[in-house]
Amino acid sequence: MTDKRKNIIRRHYRFYGAVQGVGFRYRACYSAEAAGAAGWVRNESDGSVSMELQGTEEQIDMVLQTISQSRYIDIRSMDVRNIPVEDERDFYVKEEWWY
């Protein structure tokens, strides 16, 4: 395992607030691609948004900072937990689970 790979982490986030219908998923994809992070983002039926984000601490911080600076997104609270790293290289919008 290379040193770069050792620094990779993965986190699961759940965002609450004005996070649906405000470009959150688009901004997450754009931010993750720009930062070189992997994972996915999905709207939830309760109005929250779930996201798994994988990369270095710096990449993850960049993605979260870009999302939170969006004009219409208002994250009022979030839950976060560390999860196992996956063999994933891209970031995508995941289909809503209730479809």
Residues with catalytic function: 25, 43
Tokens representing residue 97 in the block: 């689970």
Sign of torsion over alpha carbons 32, 34, 37, 39: positive
Residues 20-58 as b or e (16 or more Cβ within 10 Å = b)? bebebbebbbbbbeebebbbbbbbbeeebbbbbbbbeee
